[in-house]
Amino acid sequence: METVKLRATPAARALARRLGVKLTNVTGTGYKGRIHRDDIAGFNYEEKIHVSPLARRIAEEHDIELKGIRGSGHNHKIMKEDVLQLISDPQIKEMLTRDKLAESTAPPRPAAASQQPAAPATPATAKAATPAASPAPAGLAGSTETVPMTQMRKIISKRMMESYFGIPSFIQTWEVDMTNLLALRKQLIEPIKEKTGKKLTVTDLISVAVVKTLMKHKQINASLNKEGTEITYHNYVNLGMAVGMEEGLLVPVVKNADRMSLSEFVVALKDLTERTFSKKLLPDEQAGSTFSISNLGMYGVDEFTAIINQPNAAILSVASTQERIVPINGEAVVRPIMKISLTSDHRIIDGLTAAKFMTDLKALLENPMTLLI
């Protein structure tokens, strides 16, 4: 409940309460900063665009994307005149018009850009394309289809470039014998189901192992500021879990994962994932990670390298578990083997640090009973 005295209409307050939006996070477009219903409705899914209701409506009618536009009103608020000006220039209008194609292939959603789940924090994406199928019929000689990038994709693209080109990174790949972890999982499925109603996944166990290991390797669980001048070491773990969707990648964050029991983590991750898919993720929940995991195991990928989710210091790529013949005590044995790769920011992390982390992680994953300690 709000204890700060804010100007907000009853409708705005009611909607904020329903959606769990903190009024202090919202910029009101009303008189003296009064928060109105539309301010809450818009706030959920897009960057805070400072725009008057009339201007917003005109923009919607013409499918104009307003992100990044600075208006002529107070505090750069976008006013009706600004939008009309933008529309009047055909080149500008074209540039700002939303991607109609994305609407036709994506699951049905309103034309308003407010529904595009572009994260205010930096999303990361695997170099391998997201599972979204390309809409253009490639391969047909002579026929191509050129589509402008969606806003979301533009942002992802921008961040990718920054990360890829901005960070001197290196990769270490390790193999993990998953026999014990898979067995443990089998044992725990029922009890966890009974306790939480949720299904325990391999990802859950891997994540919990990662969290535990991170608490012992603070250089890995660190953040570097944009200028690269300050390192922040966290004594908690906010775990970013990359979730691939048709429109792009989102990285919901499990806050304070270090304080969670396995059951609690299972519930938290399940909830976040569900809400990511149903587009009910709050901006709060996409920011503040200290470390991220990208898991493409379910897609059968042998190995891959994820790109660091800034401002994290590193990201873990989890590939698929495959049966392979490995030598154990001189004998050829079939074991489930999973490859994991750590992409690290060389400005903070050196090879040895990374290796030590991965050694500990591998040991924990191969002997997961020690998670109980």
Partner 1 sequence: MEKETKIMSVRDAIIMAMSEEMRRDENVFLMGEDVGIFGGDFGTSVGMLDEFGKERVRDTPISENAISGAAIGAAMTGMRPIVDVTFMDFVVYMMDNIVNQAAKTRYMFGGKGQIPVVFRCAAGGGVGSAAQHSQSLEAWFTHIPGLKVVAPGTPADVKGILKAAVRDNNPVIFLEYKAQFNMKGEVPLDPDFVLPIGKADIKKEGKDVSVITYGRMLERVMQAAKEVEEAEGVSVEVVDLRTLKPLDKDTVLESVKKTGKVLLVNDAHKTGGFIGEVAATIAESDAFDFLDGRILRLAGEDVPIPYNQTLEAAMIPSVERIKKYILKLVNNR
Closer to partner 1 by CB, 85 or 105: give it: 85
In sequence order, the 6+-apart residues with CB closer than 8 A to the CB of 263 are: 192, 195, 196
The CB-of-103 to partner 1 minimum distance in angstroms stands at 23
Instruction: Write the DSSP assignment of 78-132 as a string of letters.
Output: B-HHHHHHHHHSHHHHHHHB--HHHHHHSSP--SSGGGS---SS----BSSPPSP
Closer to partner 1 by CB, 20 or 107: give it: 20
SS3 (DSSP) at 219: coil
Residue 87 interacts with partner 1 (CB under 8 A)? no
The CB-of-6 to partner 1 minimum distance in angstroms stands at 14
According to DSSP, residue 246 is labeled T
The CB-of-141 to partner 1 minimum distance in angstroms stands at 47
Residue 6 interacts with partner 1 (CB under 8 A)? no
Among 3, 4, 31, 90, binds partner 1 (CB under 8 A): 31
Catalytic residue list contains 346: yes
The CB-of-195 to partner 1 minimum distance in angstroms stands at 38
Q: Give the interface segment with partner 1, choosing from 24-32, 84-92, 322-330, 347-355 (CB under 8 A).
A: 24-32
Site for partner 1 in 40-69 (CB under 8 A): 52-54, 57-58
In sequence order, the 6+-apart residues with CB closer than 8 A to the CB of 307 are: 124, 125, 126, 127, 160, 163, 164, 169, 315, 343
Question: What gap in Å lies between CA 338 and CA 248, rounded to an integer?
Answer: 25
Half-sphere exposure of 221 (CA within 13 A, CB side): 20
Q: Which residues of 52-88 are buried (b: 16+ CB within 10 A; e: fewer)?
A: beebbebbbeebbbbeebebebeeebbbbebbeebbe
Contacts with partner 1: how many residues (CB under 8 A)? 17
CB 143 within 8 A of CB 318: no
CB 319 within 8 A of CB 297: yes
Residue 110 interacts with partner 1 (CB under 8 A)? no
Closer to partner 1 by CB, 77 or 234: give it: 77
The CB-of-113 to partner 1 minimum distance in angstroms stands at 19
Residue 73 interacts with partner 1 (CB under 8 A)? no
Catalytic residue list contains 177: no
Closer to partner 1 by CB, 54 or 355: give it: 54
Which listed residue (74, 258, 346, 360) is catalytic?
346
Q: Give the interface segment with partner 1, choosing from 26-34, 188-196, 224-232, 355-363 (CB under 8 A).
A: 26-34
**Counts of helices then strands in the chain (DSSP H, E):** 11, 10
How do beta strands 331-345 and 169-177 pair?
antiparallel
C-beta neighbour count of 351 within 10 angstroms: 11
Which listed residue (234, 345, 350, 360) is catalytic?
350
Residue 29 interacts with partner 1 (CB under 8 A)? yes
Among 10, 110, 137, 327, binds partner 1 (CB under 8 A): 10
Closer to partner 1 by CB, 9 or 130: give it: 9
The CB-of-10 to partner 1 minimum distance in angstroms stands at 5
The residues of the shown chain that bind partner 1, judged by CB under 8 A, are 9-12, 14, 29-31, 34, 36-38, 52-54, 57-58
Active site residues: 346, 350
